[in-house]
Chains A and B, each alone.
Chain A
């Protein structure tokens, strides 16, 4: 089965400084990978996804992620943090359900991003 590990439960940055949220995945085949963001008491919003095209994926709100197969990583970055980026971020990998061809998503435990003025 596929899995993801988010290496930090909390990350704190100052407004205007770079953001790095780390994610490692485990997959027996070439996976699809996603980053979602969740603001308090809200649903999840897709930031970006990787589906075996370009390894550097650009998403919404200035976020991007790089797929590195040799390191089994899919870290999320942003050059300059904004106060509105404070939220919880989930790294997600696709997992095929055996004998069905159906894809389900496997979520990491999340990283809470704190942005200080």
Chain B
């Protein structure tokens, strides 16, 4: 089955700890994305990567970091510098070029207390 997997589904952390969210795809897509979803705000882009070993900041990158060492994998680290990390995080991938749709993973709900 082709698709995107995110793990874990639910994640709980104490304030001040860094946490890494996993995202893996087997769709052979070059581009991958991380979004944050908060109630009533739609999705906001955190980071994206068009190709291995390259990534760009999105609209709300502060307090987050990513790596793209393999085509299939795009992990997101939520650092202690992120002021309000509790949210639903969605990973996506797509082919590159104009008008290609993005395919989404099932999401990780992070709760920081």
Contact: B42 with A32, CB < 8 Å? no
Interface residues of A in 8-54 (CB under 8 A from B): 9, 32, 34, 36, 41-46, 49, 51
Contacts A94-B98, A103-B98 known; A110 to B90 CB distance under 8 Å?
no
Tally B residues with Cβ within 8 Å of A: 30
Contact: B99 with A51, CB < 8 Å? yes
- Proximity string of chain B (85-111) to chain A, C-beta cutoff 8 Å, 1 when within and 0 when not: 000101010001111111111110100
Contact: B99 with A94, CB < 8 Å? yes
Contact: A44 with B104, CB < 8 Å? yes
Contact: A42 with B98, CB < 8 Å? no
Contact of A109 among B41, B88, B96, B97 (CB under 8 A): B41
Contact: A102 with B90, CB < 8 Å? no
Measured in the bound complex, the distance between the Cα atoms of B98 and A51 in whole Å is 9
Contacts A43-B104, A44-B104, A94-B98 known; A104 to B42 CB distance under 8 Å?
no
CB distance from B73 to the nearest CB of A (A): 17
* A46 to B, closest residue via Cβ: B101
Contact: A102 with B50, CB < 8 Å? yes
| B40 interface residue (CB < 8 Å to A) | yes
* B91 to A, closest residue via Cβ: A43
Contact: B105 with A43, CB < 8 Å? yes
Contact: B109 with A90, CB < 8 Å? no
Measured in the bound complex, the distance between the Cα atoms of B98 and A44 in whole Å is 20
Neighbouring B residues of A104 by C-beta, 8 Å: 33, 45, 48, 58
CB distance from B61 to the nearest CB of A (A): 13
| B43 interface residue (CB < 8 Å to A) | yes
Measured in the bound complex, the distance between the Cα atoms of B109 and A45 in whole Å is 18
Measured in the bound complex, the distance between the Cα atoms of B101 and A34 in whole Å is 8
Contact: B42 with A107, CB < 8 Å? yes
Q: List 21 A-B contacts (CB under 8 A).
A: A9-B40, A34-B101, A42-B106, A43-B90, A43-B107, A44-B90, A44-B104, A49-B101, A90-B42, A94-B99, A102-B96, A103-B97, A103-B99, A103-B100, A104-B33, A104-B45, A104-B48, A105-B45, A108-B42, A109-B40, A109-B42
Q: Which 8 A-B pairs have the closest CB atoms?
A: A43-B104, A32-B99, A107-B42, A51-B99, A44-B104, A107-B43, A109-B42, A43-B106
